């Protein structure tokens, strides 16, 4: 069986397409670089990371982008012997504006080479490109209304101002006048448009209700691509909004895909919150089997609108069990599960020496510009991660390196080797509880004097609790009290103001003296302890 989520951990806004016997899913990466994750599968059960195509400065530069900005809701498609990827780089989160710039890149194969971007528009976010049967291409995007607070003295309730449609061509760009083709259902907050054509109908799926617990996939259809679109008899194809105890919550925002033998599936994002409604794994990717009924509408296989954890796959397949991953940084390339923040110039913040991952201390752990943090997604509700710091001798408290559980600059715990004026080289914990807009640090443990030489660092996370550990030549010892891991989640701390990514764990260094002290990490391990 397919076990949802199929892409665990921070993998939201899944856009799916098929080329031949292989399926591909593109997901949002927000401020994490390189941009856009693309996974591949031949059975819809087991998925492997194929690439992150936005890897050059010409394609993406997010330095200065606030938390939860950057790459939102990509759309991946295959047409004209090429992959097409549409994406947004969002430059602002708070306030009326989003400054959402939309681009298109292409590649002959999923592994590239991916082209330099072609700019399309800045109407809003969540763009998609629809390839019609007559060869014409249509660009869809949410129109964002920055004057939504009031128009002509009449109050408005939402900046989500409808789904725009406009023809697009490679030679001429956008053609004609954009038209609002759909304003959504009563649920509102209409975004994430995708078109699908079948039996003379254009089927439009959108995400509605916001990306929280009212989220839903809404469907509409029209004989004319420009509308008008009539709503699905049930309005929503997929949602858990009225079933708060269901294991998959926040279900919405996905896309239709058809198998080679004509079966139909629909991806969607979801979350698996802990009690108290915190989602450390962020928004994950799931998939549901669907069926076309006699009325010409798509429904979940078996009826209802609730997303299922276990789903029948199109072909028999055995899911791979969770596995421990041990990395030794002895090569010249960063292992594929790791990413960094914002900058398209990784050589400024890290290098591979052949013996270790070397971080060059730059700005603070709260920076939006140049932060030396290399990390991987948390993919399990309980896990243990460990690393070793072999070369780092700070001479001031303004230099630190170590192991962090990280959501954004307002939400992290950082076990750091640093310097204290009274005890010299030491181990300390820097935590940010997620308060907004303050973002002040807390120090939940007294600094601990360290000997010279290597130090091993580890963290165990058990759902909403985490514990740091260290070792220098003997047995593992805890450092500091158990910490609130629920802070490292979508809803934690600043979550009510908008948090869209997920928890990471990895290695961090900063040197705010400006001298760029380096820190060497020869290895890193991640071991799931149940899900």
> Is residue 318 in some structural domain?
no
The Cβ-side half-sphere exposure at 408, using a 13 Å CA radius, reads: 30
Give dist(CA 141, CA 27) in Å, integer: 17
Is 370 labeled as catalytic in the residue annotation?
Answer: yes
> Is residue 319 in some structural domain?
no
Let me know whether 237 and 351 are in one domain.
Answer: no
The region, left, alpha or beta by phi > 0 then psi within -120 to 50, assigned to residue 212 is beta
CATH code of the domain covering residue 49? 2.115.10.20
**Quick one: which of 87, 52, 113 has its CA closest to 335?**
52
CATH code of the domain covering residue 476? 2.60.120.200
Of 246, 278, 311, the residue that ends a domain is: 311
Token pair, residue 288, equals 């549901």
The Cβ-side half-sphere exposure at 33, using a 13 Å CA radius, reads: 26
Give dist(CA 51, CA 73) in Å, integer: 16
Output the CA torsion sign for 67, 40, 331, 414. Answer: positive
Let me know whether 362 and 255 are in one domain.
Answer: no
Output the CA torsion sign for 147, 151, 154, 159. Answer: negative
pLDDT tens for each residue of the chain, 531 residues long: 999 999 999 999 999 999 999 999 999 999 999 999 999 999 999 999 999 999 999 999 999 999 999 999 999 999 999 999 999 999 999 888 999 999 999 999 999 999 999 999 999 999 999 999 999 999 999 999 998 655 555 555 689 999 999 999 999 999 999 999 999 999 999 999 999 999 999 999 999 999 999 999 999 999 999 999 999 999 999 999 999 999 999 999 999 999 999 999 999 999 999 998 999 999 999 999 999 999 999 999 999 999 999 999 999 999 999 999 999 999 999 999 999 999 999 999 999 999 999 999 999 999 999 999 999 999 999 999 999 999 999 999 999 999 999 999 999 999 999 999 999 999 999 999 886 667 789 999 999 999 999 999 999 999 999 999 999 989 999 999 999 999 999 998 754 446 899 999 999 999 999 999 999 999 999 999 865
The region, left, alpha or beta by phi > 0 then psi within -120 to 50, assigned to residue 229 is beta
Let me know whether 294 and 418 are in one domain.
Answer: no
Q: Which residues of 1-37 are buried (b: 16+ CB within 10 A; e: fewer)?
A: ebebbbbbbbbbbbbbbbeeeebbbbbbbbbbbbbbb
Cβ(180)–Cβ(189) under 8 Å? no
Residue at token pair 């007559």 = 134
Token pair, residue 441, equals 């640090």
Phi, psi of 346 (to 5 degrees): -60, -25
Give dist(CA 278, CA 1) in Å, integer: 27
Q: Which domain holds residue 50?
A: 2-311
Let me know whether 264 and 294 are in one domain.
Answer: yes
> Is residue 320 in some structural domain?
no
**Quick one: which of 50, 62, 21, 198 has its CA closest to 111?**
50
> Is residue 96 in some structural domain?
yes
> Is residue 48 in some structural domain?
yes
Specify the number of domains making up the chain. Answer: 2
Let me know whether 293 and 204 are in one domain.
Answer: yes
The region, left, alpha or beta by phi > 0 then psi within -120 to 50, assigned to residue 209 is left
Of 311, 339, 363, the residue that ends a domain is: 311
Let me know whether 142 and 275 are in one domain.
Answer: yes
Strands (E), 60-117: 70-79, 82-90, 100-107
Residue at token pair 């053609």 = 175
Let me know whether 358 and 472 are in one domain.
Answer: yes
pLDDT value of position 496: 46
> Is residue 199 in some structural domain?
yes
Give dist(CA 443, CA 75) in Å, integer: 42
Let me know whether 377 and 516 are in one domain.
Answer: yes
Phi, psi of 497 (to 5 degrees): -95, 0
User: Cα 479 from chain centroid?
Assistant: 31
Give dist(CA 406, CA 404) in Å, integer: 6
Give SS3 for 495.
Answer: helix
∠ CA 249-250-252, nearest 5°, is 125
pLDDT value of position 440: 87
Give dist(CA 88, CA 94) in Å, integer: 17
Of 311, 341, 359, the residue that ends a domain is: 311
pLDDT value of position 151: 52
pLDDT value of position 152: 55
Which residue among the candidates 308, 370, 388, 491 is catalytic per the annotation? 370
Q: Indicate the DSSP class of residue 488.
A: S
> Is residue 145 in some structural domain?
yes
Let me know whether 292 and 329 are in one domain.
Answer: no
> Is residue 108 in some structural domain?
yes
**Quick one: which of 185, 128, 196, 137 has its CA closest to 160?**
185
Residue at token pair 């291409």 = 137
Phi, psi of 144 (to 5 degrees): -95, 125
**Quick one: which of 146, 519, 481 has its CA closest to 357?**
519
Token pair, residue 429, equals 């914990």
Question: In 10 A of CB 303, how many CB atoms?
Answer: 10
Phi, psi of 53 (to 5 degrees): -75, -25
Let me know whether 307 and 403 are in one domain.
Answer: no
β pairing state of 118-121 and 150-151? unpaired
Judged on CB neighbours under 10 Å (0-12, 13-18, 19+), 265 is buried
229 contacts: CB under 8 Å, gap ≥ 6 = 181, 182, 202, 204, 220, 221, 222
Let me know whether 162 and 208 are in one domain.
Answer: yes
Let me know whether 37 and 60 are in one domain.
Answer: yes
């Amino acid at each position: 069986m397919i076990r949802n989520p199929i892409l665990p951990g921070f993998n939201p806004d899944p856009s799916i397409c098929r080329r031949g016997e292989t399926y591909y899913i593109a997901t949002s990466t927000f401020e994490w670089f390189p941009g856009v994750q693309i996974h591949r599968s031949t059975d819809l059960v087991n998925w492997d990371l194929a690439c992150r195509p936005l890897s050059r400065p010409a394609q993406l530069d997010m330095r200065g982008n606030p938390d939860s900005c950057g790459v939102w809701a990509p759309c991946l498609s295959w047409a004209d012997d090429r992959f097409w990827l549409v994406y947004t780089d969002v430059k602002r989160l708070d306030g009326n504006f989003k400054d959402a710039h939309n681009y298109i890149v292409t590649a002959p194969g999923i592994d590239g080479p991916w082209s330099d971007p072609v700019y399309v528009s800045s109407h809003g976010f969540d763009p998609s490109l629809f390839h019609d049967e007559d060869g014409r291409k249509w660009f869809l995007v949410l129109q964002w209304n920055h004057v939504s607070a009031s128009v002509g003295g009449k109050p408005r309730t939402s900046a989500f101002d409808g789904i725009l449609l406009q023809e697009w061509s490679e030679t001429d760009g956008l053609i004609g006048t954009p038209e609002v083709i759909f304003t959504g259902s009563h649920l509102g907050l209409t975004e994430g448009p995708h078109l699908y054509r079948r039996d003379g109908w254009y089927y439009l799926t959108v995400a509605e209700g916001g990306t929280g617990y009212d989220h839903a996939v809404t469907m509409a259809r029209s004989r004319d691509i420009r509308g008008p679109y009539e709503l699905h008899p049930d309005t929503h194809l997929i949602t858990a909004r009225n079933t708060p105890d269901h294991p998959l919550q926040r279900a919405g925002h996905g896309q239709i895909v058809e198998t080679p033998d004509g079966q139909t599936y629909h991806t969607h994002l979801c979350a698996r919150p802990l009690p108290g409604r915190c989602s450390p794994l962020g928004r994950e990717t799931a998939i549901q089997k669907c069926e076309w009924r006699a009325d010409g509408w798509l429904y979940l296989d078996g009826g209802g609108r609730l997303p299922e954890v276990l789903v029948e796959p199109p072909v028999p397949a055995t899911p791979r069990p969770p596995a421990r991953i041990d990395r030794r940084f002895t090569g010249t390339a960063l292992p594929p599960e790791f990413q960094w923040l914002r900058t398209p110039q990784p050589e400024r913040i890290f290098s591979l020496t052949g013996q270790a991952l070397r971080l060059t201390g730059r700005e603070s752990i709260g920076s939006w510009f140049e932060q030396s943090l290399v990390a991987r997604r948390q993919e399990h509700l309980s896990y243990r991660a460990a690393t070793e710091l072999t070369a780092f001798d700070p001479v001031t408290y303004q230099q630190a390196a170590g192991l962090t559980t990280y959501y954004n600059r307002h939400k992290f715990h950082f076990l750091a080797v640093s310097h204290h004026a009274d005890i010299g080289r030491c181990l300390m914990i820097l935590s940010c509880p997620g308060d907004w807009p303050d973002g002040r640090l807390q120090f939940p443990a007294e600094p601990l004097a360290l000997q010279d030489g290597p130090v091993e660092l580890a963290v165990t996370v058990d759902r909403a609790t985490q514990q740091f550990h260290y070792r220098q030549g003997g047995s593992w010892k805890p450092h500091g009290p158990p910490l609130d891991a629920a802070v490292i989640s979508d809803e934690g701390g600043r979550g009510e103001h908008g948090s869209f990514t997920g928890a990471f764990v990895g290695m961090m260094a900063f040197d705010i003296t400006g001298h760029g002290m380096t820190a060497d990490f020869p290895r890193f391990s991640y071991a799931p302890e149940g899900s």
